[in-house]
Chain A
Amino acid sequence: MKGGKNMKPILLVEDEAVMRESIKDWLTDIGYEVETAEDGEQALKTFGEQEIGFVILDLRLPGKDGLEVLREAKAKHPQLKGVIITAYPSVETAVEAIKHGAVDYLPKPFDLNRLEEIIRETLGPVQIEIKPSREVSGEEVTLTIDGIEVKARQGMTVLQAAQSVGIDIPTLCYHEKLTPVGACRLCTVEIVKGQRSQLVTSCVYPVEAGLVVRTESEPVINVRKMLLAMMWSRAPGVQAIRDLCIRYGVDRNKFEVEPTYCILCGLCVRYCSEVKKKNFIGFVGRGTERQVMFLPGADFKECSKCGECYGICPTGLMPSNYGLAQLPIGTARECCVSA
């Protein structure tokens, strides 16, 4: 995914691989184009090769340190803006950094939101494009779904291919704008390769040429029935699950009711993170203790203005789940009234 139009890339100079990759991930997720370098030499080489809009420099680097690199780069590209990051902050180096032309100085660990703010102030905001869940390349492949020949592009998932021809595979955790995670497993289908058949999760299974897919075979239906019975015990009365239970003839009394209402599909979490770029809600705990919660640092004022995650919740029970009842009634809220 490339950044906003005509925006120069950011250069990240950091010798620690984990740090380098996580900052890079964060920035590319937001939409910036990021180049990386492991040391000063490599960084200066990159400056020579392409135009860099903003540089993030670790203070301590093997060979030339961050300040030296900034000074040398500034000498050649006076317009260059940059920030120094360091795990060894001191007043002296901070003063030096500003003297050398850094726009800011961030002691590690720092809040990535703060880094984003600095970059936004310098480069302007990126045009947010919603990325397709997986990079879809040009090559066309043909597969068979429920006896129908379907043409799809390499990189698409079986679920997308099925949807493109109107085959309805049930799912409660898939959304076209969001990265699929395969959490609800309702989209399980059977694939056949030669003599062998296997159950796979169609929202994450990539299409292949010649693949034979059965979306409503007996083993598939058995899995869906069991999963729906389990989900019903957690979110009894929810329309979307009731409809599917009826469609598959599920015995809704199979398990005793233990309501949590949230089925942990994670749509709200991914929506807040991937579309809104906020990460205000997230998962806490594991196993049956897992819950969706507001994370520390969430801005409730902004949440009450947005509320878009309500609309995406398949149970429609978000407000009661998260104690957000005091939020002002808006369009998003209304969709929850059905609950």
Chain B
Amino acid sequence: MANLVATDLETRMRLSAPSDLVELRKDILSRRDPTKLCVTICSGTGCHAYGSEEVYESFVSEIQKKGLQKKVGIRRTGCHGFCERGTVVVVFPEEICYLHVKPDDIPEIVATTLTERKVVERLLYEDQDGQKIVQEGDIPFYKHQSRIVFGNNRFIDPKNMEDYIALGGYSALAKALSEMTPELVLDEVKKANLRGRGGGGFPAGVKWETTRNAPGEIKYVIVNADEGDPGAYMDRSLLEGNPHSVLEGLIIGAYAIGSHEGFIYVRQEYPLAVENITIALEQARKYGLLGKNILGSGFDFDVRIHRGAGAFVSGESSALMTAIEGRVGEPRPKYIRTAVSGIWERPSNLNNVETWATVPLIINKGADWFTGIGTKGSKGTKIFSLVGKVNNTGLVEVPMGMPLRDIIYKIGGGIRQGKKFKAVQTGGPSGGVIPERLLDTPVDFDELSKMGSMMGSGGMIVMDDTTCMVDIARYFLNFLSDESCGKCVPCREGIHKMLKILNRICAGEGRKGDIELLEEIAVVVQTSALCALGTTAPNPVLSTIRYFRDEYEAHIHEKHCPAGVCKALISYYIQPDKCKGCMICLRNCPVGAISGGKREVHFIQQNKCTKCGNCFEVCPSKFAAVTKATAVQLAQAVGNRD
């Protein structure tokens, strides 16, 4: 009997025509009251780490305690983007936005906002002039963005497909399947000039067409969710927060290409993304949006999830496909493109998460709408992961062509602690740095390449003047050296040799000719490595040399690290006239390198000092006697004393 009911329910759920989807949406909306109070709690990865789960539970129990269950709805949503102010809570219908919400704040929110319908002032966003901002959309961080792809995250419980359908989800799929031929879908995407959001910026429509026209009955479509750049998490947040949008785009793409099997390659290290997309697939199958005869169109398509085993290089298309085949994820030569010969040598079309999620928008609103946003060569918006020494960190979506300065200052709120901007690194580990004087360049695929960096997947790391550019190049090369698969000589040995040179420069052992040698190796690696990891690996080195050559020269010739970062090139020094002999630094030195006594001027024995910086940190600011000095400054200081 129970079985019968289940089967019956499943048949009822199955959408067998576009009109069924319209009916379902009507039915969902009829059960929802837009004026009803609803607490939404951001449950993306950032807020999750801040304890959004406890916040959710506190809301549930507090609302129950006050007997408000009928009057107030609660929803856990995908990532809102303003991750550093988590946990983010938004109360609908007024869209009151509370930041940094902790479980202890819940009773007050329930009593004030949910009962008396008043605002809890202390949890609101406060701008530089002390002005409180109530609505999420008015916060400067959000105000300057245009969140066409990412924006729905905040309305949707990613585990509930009804939320997606309520917002018009799958209507693009219905439109494509019932009103458009595969050729028309393809033409629309080509006309929109949608370029791949995963790094290279290759036109998605052209790639689709190649796969479509490639010989062979069986073709594959793949979602690349192997986002591995340090600090970048936009694909993660999209897949976690709005999995159905990615899936809808994938099904539309499969229809245009003539593919009946898809793969989602997602990192095992993204458990929530794996969980949410798995649920999304199950729901889509239940509703007949995956499987045989989708929406009665006669088109069959299904998807499998492949969990990545944690290698950065697996994000490269041919390596990813090799991994799906069950082999070690290593790139292979691509003179015959993967669109023609990919997984099991069959035509395989790979796009990243954000690219797929953009497709339904193009189908629904048309290519003309899409090309109205952005620059000449790069259309639409791009999601960036804005991190580093900037006041507002998080995920931001802006139209292509927005100047870097606007992203960093208007959205990011400028540099932390009023420090000076030095550079911004875009494009992940194999991207490059961009200096202050180029900040007004509009951000798009082509402009970033011209500046010696790249779009990559959209990482954006802001650096202030306490960052050493040689050290930054060293950091990224170190990452790439760990992540190179080691198959080809230029990447494996080239990165290693460049890293060795950078290490010695940072250690104060740089030699004359090192900069030129770095450049010479870089060019060879760029032109001869097997895959994009190798050919782009020299970018951090070349771009730092291009814009900050003087820093390299200072390290090599003067043994001086201008930013005071490279340990071998700095010393800690106590200014005798400022030291009050308080014993604080002396007690905190882990190696006993500081001599002196109570009310006696302290002195650091340089041969014992490990440059941990403890003394610098603990010296009371009213004395500020301990200073960090580069070799040059120390020589001057010592000279003066003599």
A residues sitting closer than 8 Å to B (CB atoms) are: 17-18, 21-22, 25, 180-186, 188, 199-201, 204-206, 219, 222-223, 226-227, 230-231, 233-234, 255, 263-264, 266, 283, 285-290
Interface centre among A17, A205, A222 (most CB of B within 10 A): A17
Beta-carbon nearest neighbor of A24 in chain B: B344
Across the interface, do A288 and B496 meet the contact criterion of CB distance under 8 Å? yes
A-B contact pairs, 15 of them (CB 8 A): A17-B261, A21-B326, A22-B326, A25-B325, A181-B333, A181-B487, A185-B530, A188-B528, A206-B335, A226-B494, A230-B489, A264-B487, A286-B483, A287-B482, A287-B485
In the assembled complex, the Cα of A289 lies from the Cα of B484 at a distance in Å of 10
In the assembled complex, the Cα of A219 lies from the Cα of B527 at a distance in Å of 9
Also in contact, A18 and B524, with CB within 8 A (given A234-B493, A288-B486): no
Q: Does B401 contact A (CB under 8 A)?
A: no
Across the interface, do A289 and B528 meet the contact criterion of CB distance under 8 Å? no
Across the interface, do A287 and B481 meet the contact criterion of CB distance under 8 Å? yes
Q: Does B520 contact A (CB under 8 A)?
A: yes
Q: Does B100 contact A (CB under 8 A)?
A: no
Q: Does B602 contact A (CB under 8 A)?
A: no
Across the interface, do B483 and A182 meet the contact criterion of CB distance under 8 Å? no
| B499-536 contacts to A (CB < 8 Å) | 520-521, 523-524, 527-530
| B475-497 contacts to A (CB < 8 Å) | 481-490, 492-497
Q: Does B565 contact A (CB under 8 A)?
A: no
Q: Does B5 contact A (CB under 8 A)?
A: no
In the assembled complex, the Cα of A233 lies from the Cα of B332 at a distance in Å of 26
Across the interface, do B489 and A21 meet the contact criterion of CB distance under 8 Å? no
Q: Does B324 contact A (CB under 8 A)?
A: yes
Instruction: Give the distance to chain B from A193, nearest Cβ to Cβ, in Å.
Output: 13
In the assembled complex, the Cα of A290 lies from the Cα of B330 at a distance in Å of 12
Across the interface, do B521 and A264 meet the contact criterion of CB distance under 8 Å? no
Across the interface, do A288 and B481 meet the contact criterion of CB distance under 8 Å? yes
Also in contact, A227 and B332, with CB within 8 A (given A18-B324, A255-B497): no
Across the interface, do B486 and A289 meet the contact criterion of CB distance under 8 Å? yes
Across the interface, do B484 and A185 meet the contact criterion of CB distance under 8 Å? no
Across the interface, do B492 and A290 meet the contact criterion of CB distance under 8 Å? yes
Residues in chain A near residue B488, CB distance under 8 A: 182-185
Residues in chain A near residue B344, CB distance under 8 A: 21, 25
In the assembled complex, the Cα of A219 lies from the Cα of B487 at a distance in Å of 22
Across the interface, do B485 and A286 meet the contact criterion of CB distance under 8 Å? yes
Q: Does B328 contact A (CB under 8 A)?
A: yes
Residues in chain A near residue B528, CB distance under 8 A: 185, 188, 199, 201, 223, 227
Beta-carbon nearest neighbor of B306 in chain A: A18
Residues in chain B near residue A22, CB distance under 8 A: 325-326
Instruction: Give the distance to chain B from A323, nearest Cβ to Cβ, in Å.
Output: 21
Partner of A222, one of B326, B484, B524, B529: B524
B residues sitting closer than 8 Å to A (CB atoms) are: 261, 304, 306, 311, 313, 324-326, 328, 332-333, 335-336, 344, 481-490, 492-497, 520-521, 523-524, 527-530
Instruction: Give the distance to chain B from A163, nearest Cβ to Cβ, in Å.
Output: 18
Also in contact, A264 and B492, with CB within 8 A (given A17-B261, A286-B486): yes
In the assembled complex, the Cα of A231 lies from the Cα of B528 at a distance in Å of 15
Instruction: Give the distance to chain A from B466, nearest Cβ to Cβ, in Å.
Output: 30
Residues in chain B near residue A226, CB distance under 8 A: 490, 494, 520-521, 524
Also in contact, A287 and B492, with CB within 8 A (given A25-B344, A200-B335): yes
In the assembled complex, the Cα of A21 lies from the Cα of B529 at a distance in Å of 30
Across the interface, do A227 and B490 meet the contact criterion of CB distance under 8 Å? yes
Across the interface, do B494 and A230 meet the contact criterion of CB distance under 8 Å? yes
Interface centre among A181, A226, A234 (most CB of B within 10 A): A226
Beta-carbon nearest neighbor of A265 in chain B: B489
Also in contact, A287 and B335, with CB within 8 A (given A18-B324, A227-B489): no
Residues in chain A near residue B325, CB distance under 8 A: 18, 21-22, 25
Residues in chain A near residue B486, CB distance under 8 A: 264, 283, 285-290
Beta-carbon nearest neighbor of B334 in chain A: A204
Residues in chain B near residue A180, CB distance under 8 A: 333
Residues in chain A near residue B326, CB distance under 8 A: 18, 21-22
Residues in chain B near residue A200, CB distance under 8 A: 335
Residues in chain A near residue B493, CB distance under 8 A: 227, 230-231, 233-234, 288
Across the interface, do A286 and B261 meet the contact criterion of CB distance under 8 Å? no
Starting from the known contacts A199-B527, A264-B492, 18 additional A-B residue pairs (CB-CB under 8 Å) come to A18-B324, A183-B488, A186-B489, A188-B528, A201-B528, A205-B333, A223-B527, A226-B524, A227-B489, A227-B490, A231-B493, A283-B328, A283-B486, A286-B483, A287-B492, A287-B496, A288-B492, A290-B486
Residues in chain A near residue B332, CB distance under 8 A: 181
Instruction: Give the distance to chain B from A107, nearest Cβ to Cβ, in Å.
Output: 18
In the assembled complex, the Cα of A169 lies from the Cα of B102 at a distance in Å of 67
Residues in chain B near residue A289, CB distance under 8 A: 486
Instruction: Give the distance to chain B from A201, nearest Cβ to Cβ, in Å.
Output: 6
Across the interface, do B484 and A231 meet the contact criterion of CB distance under 8 Å? no
Residues in chain A near residue B481, CB distance under 8 A: 287-288
Across the interface, do B492 and A223 meet the contact criterion of CB distance under 8 Å? no
Across the interface, do B489 and A183 meet the contact criterion of CB distance under 8 Å? yes
Residues in chain B near residue A17, CB distance under 8 A: 261, 304
Instruction: Give the distance to chain A from B627, nearest Cβ to Cβ, in Å.
Output: 37
Instruction: Give the distance to chain B from A202, nearest Cβ to Cβ, in Å.
Output: 10
Beta-carbon nearest neighbor of B312 in chain A: A286
In the assembled complex, the Cα of A17 lies from the Cα of B303 at a distance in Å of 11
Beta-carbon nearest neighbor of A254 in chain B: B517
Beta-carbon nearest neighbor of B501 in chain A: A255
Beta-carbon nearest neighbor of A227 in chain B: B489
Residues in chain B near residue A181, CB distance under 8 A: 332-333, 487
Across the interface, do B335 and A205 meet the contact criterion of CB distance under 8 Å? yes
Interface centre among A201, A204, A285, A286 (most CB of B within 10 A): A286
In the assembled complex, the Cα of A183 lies from the Cα of B490 at a distance in Å of 9
Residues in chain B near residue A223, CB distance under 8 A: 490, 524, 527-528
Residues in chain B near residue A266, CB distance under 8 A: 487
Also in contact, A201 and B492, with CB within 8 A (given A17-B304, A286-B311): no
Interface centre among A200, A285, A288 (most CB of B within 10 A): A288
Beta-carbon nearest neighbor of B220 in chain A: A17
Across the interface, do A287 and B497 meet the contact criterion of CB distance under 8 Å? no
Across the interface, do A182 and B530 meet the contact criterion of CB distance under 8 Å? yes
Residues in chain B near residue A227, CB distance under 8 A: 489-490, 493, 524, 528
Closest 5 CB pairs between A and B? A290-B486, A204-B333, A230-B493, A226-B524, A287-B484
Across the interface, do A231 and B483 meet the contact criterion of CB distance under 8 Å? no
Partner of A204, one of B335, B494, B521: B335
Interface centre among B336, B520, B528 (most CB of A within 10 A): B528
In the assembled complex, the Cα of A21 lies from the Cα of B343 at a distance in Å of 10
In the assembled complex, the Cα of A18 lies from the Cα of B327 at a distance in Å of 11
Beta-carbon nearest neighbor of A288 in chain B: B496
Instruction: Give the distance to chain A from B215, nearest Cβ to Cβ, in Å.
Output: 13
Partner of A287, one of B483, B520, B521, B530: B483
In the assembled complex, the Cα of A288 lies from the Cα of B489 at a distance in Å of 10
Interface centre among A21, A25, A182, A183 (most CB of B within 10 A): A182
Residues in chain B near residue A234, CB distance under 8 A: 493
Instruction: Give the distance to chain B from A213, nearest Cβ to Cβ, in Å.
Output: 13
Residues in chain B near residue A233, CB distance under 8 A: 493, 497
Across the interface, do B336 and A206 meet the contact criterion of CB distance under 8 Å? yes
Beta-carbon nearest neighbor of A18 in chain B: B326
Residues in chain A near residue B529, CB distance under 8 A: 185
Partner of A230, one of B306, B485, B497, B530: B497
Residues in chain A near residue B487, CB distance under 8 A: 181, 183, 264, 266, 290
In the assembled complex, the Cα of A263 lies from the Cα of B489 at a distance in Å of 8
Residues in chain A near residue B304, CB distance under 8 A: 17-18
In the assembled complex, the Cα of A234 lies from the Cα of B486 at a distance in Å of 14
In the assembled complex, the Cα of A256 lies from the Cα of B638 at a distance in Å of 37
In the assembled complex, the Cα of A17 lies from the Cα of B222 at a distance in Å of 14
In the assembled complex, the Cα of A233 lies from the Cα of B489 at a distance in Å of 12
Beta-carbon nearest neighbor of A219 in chain B: B527
In the assembled complex, the Cα of A227 lies from the Cα of B489 at a distance in Å of 7
In the assembled complex, the Cα of A233 lies from the Cα of B501 at a distance in Å of 15
In the assembled complex, the Cα of A223 lies from the Cα of B496 at a distance in Å of 16
Residues in chain B near residue A231, CB distance under 8 A: 489, 493
